[in-house]
Every structure is written in structure tokens, then in C-alpha cells.
Amino acid sequence: MSGGAVIGPLSGKSAFVTGGGSGVGAVIALHLAQAGAQVTICGRRLGPLQDVAAEHRAIGCVQADITDEAAISTAIANAAPDIVIANAGASESAPFVKTELDAFDRMMSVNLTGTFLTLREGARAMQKKPWGRLIAIASTAGIKGYPYVAPYAAAKHGVIGMVKSVALELARKGITANAICPSFLDTEMTERSIANIVEKTGRSEDEARASLVASIPVRRLVPPEDVAQAVLWLCGTGSDMITGQAISVSGGEV
């Protein structure tokens, strides 16, 4: 465990991060804590959450499913956050003509409905605060299309539309709402996508990875630390005029 009371640019602020037990969510949580915020992470699996919380004294955790309205409402209300990061999500792939309705519904539930509930409860918690930040971790799939992930892309497009609308509603209340849109991240989710490509196409792992990296002009996966730094920028001094934006963190892809 690292850190005691940290004096930083976010000292005195509290943050709530969904999907904080792994991947980019865990990295965001650590960066916020290191900047001085008191951070609550949530997710469905308690063990990984506790592992991340053990890395910094300013991180606590709560077990909650973002698609469970009562659970996420209680978790966010208890945390009373100034900063809410709607990061939790999931991805599945299949040819469009073979995509079952259940798969479409799963992608909408976790990626769009879960983000809606997280941001709505965050906005409710911030109503009496003079300052607030709502940030959705979306995807370049919310800006453009990709083959074989139509439901995922549809959900992420929905997230961006929602953020733009929320930003207009809250524009005069000291609360900004933005989406960060990474390309393929160097995280466990991308590793699962690579494994899926290998299984379904017979390509080698290196070939599958190269097929994803090929869409990124810098020819490497996006470091989760770059996404965390974008979050800190949106929460930092001089960010008050940044709202309603879909910020691409994609190595020049879009």
C-alpha cells in the first residue's frame, strides 16, 4: 500500500470509478488517488477491487453491478463524489447477420444503460455542489464503425450522444460532462479480443494483435496511463470550458 494523505491538485475532491478492479479503471483510480482525491472504485468482483484498493490508502471499494439501479444508486450516493468516471464496459464480437438479440441486449445493458445509471446518479450526487465532473470512458467505436462489433459500437455512439445532451443541461451548474474515446487499449479486454480472433480465425496471436494495431497510426496499443492523464486534465485547472466533448485518445486514428 502506498501513500498517506496526499496533497495534490485534487485534494479535497472525491471520485467514483466504475470497473475499477482492472484495466484502465484501476489505472484511472490510482492516478486520481495520487493527485489527492479520495477514490471509491466499484465492480462486480470484490477480490480485484480489494487488490487495487490495497495499492493506495486513498482508494476504497464497493461491490456493485452498474446495471443494478438500486445498487449503483446506493453506492454513488454513499460516496457523494465530485468526480464520476463511468468506465465499466464489455465487448463481444460476431458477424452482424449472426448477432443474436441477447448479445445486442447485453452490449446495450452494460455499455449504455450502465453508463446512463452511473452518470445520472453522479449528476444527482453533484446537484448541491459548485463543481463536478462526469466522464464516460467510451471508445473510438463511438466515433466510427468497426466490423463485427455493431452492438458495441451502437452502445458507444449512444454514450457520446448522451454525454453531449447532459453537458448542455448542466452547462451553467459548474458540472462538465465529457467522453474519452480510446482506441484498442493495452489491457486485459484487448487481450480477450485477441484471443477471440485467434479462436475464430485460426490466426496466430501475433497476427491477431497486428490486425488491431494496424488501425492505429502510431502502430501500438493505447497505454491506459494516457487515458488516465486525459481524465486528470478534464478534472484539473483550466478545464471548465471543456464539456460535451468526445476526446479521442487513439494515436491519430480519428
Give phi and psi for 229, each to the nearest 5: -65, -35
C-alpha cell belonging to residue 177: 460532462
Q: Is 146 a catalytic residue?
A: no
- Name the catalytic one among 29, 152, 153, 167: 152
Catalytic annotation, residues: 152
